[in-house]
């Protein structure tokens, strides 16, 4: 099989998400291992943990540079806006009675207030350090999970790798 066909097989699998034994057979062993291991549940969970702690690091760094946190309190408020006016007239001769009613459109909106709250810089620095440590741990653990998976899957045949992938 030419390298272009292998390349397109890998792209096809990643775009459509339809993984079959046939698609695994078209991949070299290292691509099969990468495909399987990057979709491993533990690997994905650890990647997610890493992202969460990186976001916490960004947030805490922002709080420390700003010097305060912003507490946001939101509530839903009923908003009534004037709608259409409909009138009906009834009567005979000079005695005509007209009644008009205005319809109102009711919607609900979120109204938020933001309040600056002072911080304990030492506590925030401790939280920042803890989040940095969690990112390092998650990266190490994620790499260990990936490497164990890769060393297990890479020597497998396409059929074995597919079977392993389906079980995971």
pLDDT digits (tens, 9 = 90+) for 28-42: 999 999 999 999 999
Overall average pLDDT of the 151-159 stretch: 96
22 in a structural domain: yes
**Cα–Cα distance between 144 and 95 in angstroms, integer?**
91
- Least confident span in 91-95, 147-151, 152-156: 91-95
61 and 143 both lie in a single domain: yes
50 and 11 both lie in a single domain: yes
User: Which tens digits make up the pLDDT trace of 54-98?
Assistant: 999 999 999 999 999 999 999 999 998 888 888 888 877 777 888
21 and 35 both lie in a single domain: yes
- For residue 71 the two structure tokens come to 């507490």
Is the per-residue pLDDT at 130 higher than 90? Answer: yes
- If one counts the domains in the chain, the total is 2
129 in a structural domain: no
57 in a structural domain: yes
pLDDT confidence of 103, banded at 50, 70, 90? Answer: confident
Nearest to 145 by CA among 49, 61, 72: 49
7 and 40 both lie in a single domain: yes
Token look-up 């506590």 returns 123
DSSP assignments along 43-93, one per residue: HHHHHHHHHHHHHHHHHHHHHHHHTEEEEEEEEEEEEEEEEEEEEEEEEET
2 and 60 both lie in a single domain: yes
Q: What percent of the chain has a predicted confidence (pLDDT) above 70?
A: 89
Token look-up 């922002």 returns 62
What's the angle, vertex CA 165, arms to CA 153 and CA 21, rounded to 5?
95
Instruction: Count Cβ atoms within 10 A of the Cβ of residue 58 and give its class: 0-12 exposed, 13-18 middle, 19 or more buried.
Output: exposed
Q: What percent of the chain has a predicted confidence (pLDDT) above 90?
A: 70
1 and 40 both lie in a single domain: yes
- Domain range for 16: 1-67+139-168
125 in a structural domain: no
């Amino acid at each position: 099989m030419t390298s272009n066909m292998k390349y397109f097989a890998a792209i096809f699998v990643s775009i459509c998400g339809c993984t079959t034994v046939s698609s695994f057979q078209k991949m070299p062993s290292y691509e099969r291992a990468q495909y399987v291991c990057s979709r491993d549940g533990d690997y994905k969970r650890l990647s997610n943990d890493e992202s969460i702690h990186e976001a916490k690091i960004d947030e805490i760094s922002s709080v420390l540079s700003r010097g305060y946190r912003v507490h946001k309190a939101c509530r839903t408020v009923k908003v009534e806006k004037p709608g259409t006016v409909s009138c009906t007239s009834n009567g005979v001769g000079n005695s005509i009675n007209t009644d008009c009613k205005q319809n109102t459109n009711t919607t609900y909106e979120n109204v938020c207030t933001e309040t600056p709250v002072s911080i304990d810089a030492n506590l925030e620095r401790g939280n920042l350090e803890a989040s940095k440590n969690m990112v390092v741990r998650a990266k190490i653990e994620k790499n260990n999970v990936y490497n164990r998976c890769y060393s297990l899957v890479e020597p497998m045949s396409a059929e074995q790798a597919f079977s392993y992938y389906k079980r995971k």
